[in-house]
C-alpha cells in the first residue's frame, strides 16, 4: 500500500530533550516536506526536500533540523525542544513535475507536547 | 507576498444544503491549485486539483471546483452535503514563480454539517 508513515504518533517530552520524528514514504517520491498545524494558523511548512541531500527552509524552520540521506526517509529533528513547538506535525511527499510538487500525500501526523 | 485567502473560517450547514467555500490567491501567473480535506483526527487528503485544461474540476465524494483566472479564485462546491462531510477544508496554491517550490496554504475552513 502506498503510504507515508510517521513515528511516533504521540510524544510527550520535556524542554531541551532532543527528539527525532521519523517519516518514510514508499512511493519513490522526490519531494518531501514537514508541516506543523496549529489552531487558527493552518499548515505552516517547516522544511522541504527536492531530493536526496537537497533540503531547504520553509516558513518556520527555527528550532528544527532535517536530513535527507535516503530518498524514502526525511526525519525531523528537534535539538532542544521548547513548549512553543507543541503542535501537530505532518510529513508529506509528492512527485515532482516541471520542478514543482504535485499532489502531496500526507502521513498520519505526530502530536508533540513539550512540557 | 503571495497568499491564499479562504473567506469562511467556520461554516455550519444542514444535511442536503449546498456548499460553496471560497478560495482566492494573490499571484498573477500560472498556478497549480488544490483542495484538501482533513476529517476529524485524520491526516489531509486530496479532494481535487487543477493544473490546466477544463477549469471545472471534479473531485472525490461529489465535490467540484471552478478555476476563474480573472478572479484569482478556485471555489469549492458540493450541491448537497452530508453529515460525513464534516471536516476542515484547505485550499493550496503552487505558483509558477522563479524558484518557488512551496505550496502556499490557506488557513482552512471548518465545516460542520448537522444531521
- The dihedral over CA atoms of B7, B9, B15, B18, expressed in degrees to the nearest 10, equals 0
Contact B88, B9 (CB under 8 A): no
Q: By CA distance, what is B5's nearest residue in A?
A: A42
Give A47's strand partners: A34, A57
CB–CB contact B34 A106 (8 Å): no
Written as tens digits, the pLDDT of chain A (115 aa) is 889 999 999 999 999 999 999 999 999 999 999 999 998 888 999 999 999 999 999 989 999 999 999 999 999 999 999 999 999 999 999 988 777 778 899 999 999 999 9
Residues of A with CB under 8 A from a CB of B: 31, 40-45, 48, 50, 56, 58-59, 90, 92, 98-109
Residue B29 makes CB contacts below 8 A (sequence gap 6+) with: B95, B96, B97
Cis peptide before A37 (omega within 30 of 0): no
pLDDT for the residue A98:
75
Helices first, then strands: H and E counts in chain A: 0, 13
Secondary structure in 3-state letters for chain B: CCCEECCCCEEEEECCCCEEECCEECCCCCEEEEEEEECCCCCEEEEEEECCCCCEEECHHHCEEEEEHHHCEEEEEECCCCHHHCEEEEEEEEECCCCCCCCEECCCEEEEEEC
CB–CB contact A103 B96 (8 Å): no
CB–CB contact A104 B103 (8 Å): yes
Q: Which of A41, A38, A39, A49 is nearest to A91 (CA)?
A: A49
Q: Is A83 helix (H, G, I), strand (E, B) or coil?
A: helix
Cell triple for residue B20?
Answer: 460553496
Q: What is the pLDDT of residues B18-63, one digit of tens each?
A: 999 999 999 878 889 999 999 998 989 999 999 999 999 999 999 9
Task: Please identify which residue in the block is written with the cell numbers 514514504.
Answer: A25
CB nearest A90 (choices: B43, B102, B106): B43
Task: Please identify which residue in the block is written with the cell numbers 469549492.
Answer: B76
Which of A5, A23, A36, A37 should be substituted to probe chain B, the one whose Cβ sees the most B Cβ atoms within 10 Å? A37
Q: Is the dihedral of CA A6, A8, A10, A15 positive or negative?
A: negative
- The dihedral over CA atoms of B12, B42, B82, B109, expressed in degrees to the nearest 10, equals 30
Amino acid at each position: 500500500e502506498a503510504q507515508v508513515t510517521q513515528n511516533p504518533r504521540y510524544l510527550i517530552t520535556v524542554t531541551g530533550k532532543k527528539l527525532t520524528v521519523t517519516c518514510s514514504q514508499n512511493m519513490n517520491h522526490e519531494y518531501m516536506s514537514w508541516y506543523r498545524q496549529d489552531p487558527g494558523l493552518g499548515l505552516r511548512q517547516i522544511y522541504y526536500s527536492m531530493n536526496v541531500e537537497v533540503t531547504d527552509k520553509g516558513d518556520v524552520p527555527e528550532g528544527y533540523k532535517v536530513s535527507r540521506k535516503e530518498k524514502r526517509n526525511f526525519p525531523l529533528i528537534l535539538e532542544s525542544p521548547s513548549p512553543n513547538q507543541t503542535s501537530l506535525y505532518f510529513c508529506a511527499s509528492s512527485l515532482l513535475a516541471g520542478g514543482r510538487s504535485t499532489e502531496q500525500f500526507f502521513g498520519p501526523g505526530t502530536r508533540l507536547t513539550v512540557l | 507576498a503571495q497568499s491564499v485567502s479562504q473567506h469562511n473560517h467556520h461554516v455550519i450547514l444542514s444535511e442536503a444544503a449546498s456548499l460553496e467555500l471560497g478560495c482566492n490567491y494573490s499571484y498573477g501567473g500560472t498556478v497549480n491549485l488544490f483542495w484538501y480535506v482533513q476529517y476529524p483526527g485524520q491526516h489531509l487528503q486530496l479532494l481535487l486539483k487543477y493544473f490546466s485544461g477544463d477549469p471545472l474540476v471534479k473531485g472525490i465524494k461529489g465535490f467540484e471546483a471552478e478555476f476563474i483566472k480573472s478572479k484569482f479564485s478556485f471555489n469549492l462546491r458540493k450541491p448537497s452535503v452530508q453529515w460525513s462531510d464534516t471536516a476542515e477544508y484547505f485550499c493550496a496554491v503552487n505558483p509558477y514563480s522563479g524558484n518557488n517550490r512551496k505550496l502556499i496554504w490557506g488557513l482552512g475552513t471548518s465545516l460542520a454539517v448537522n444531521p
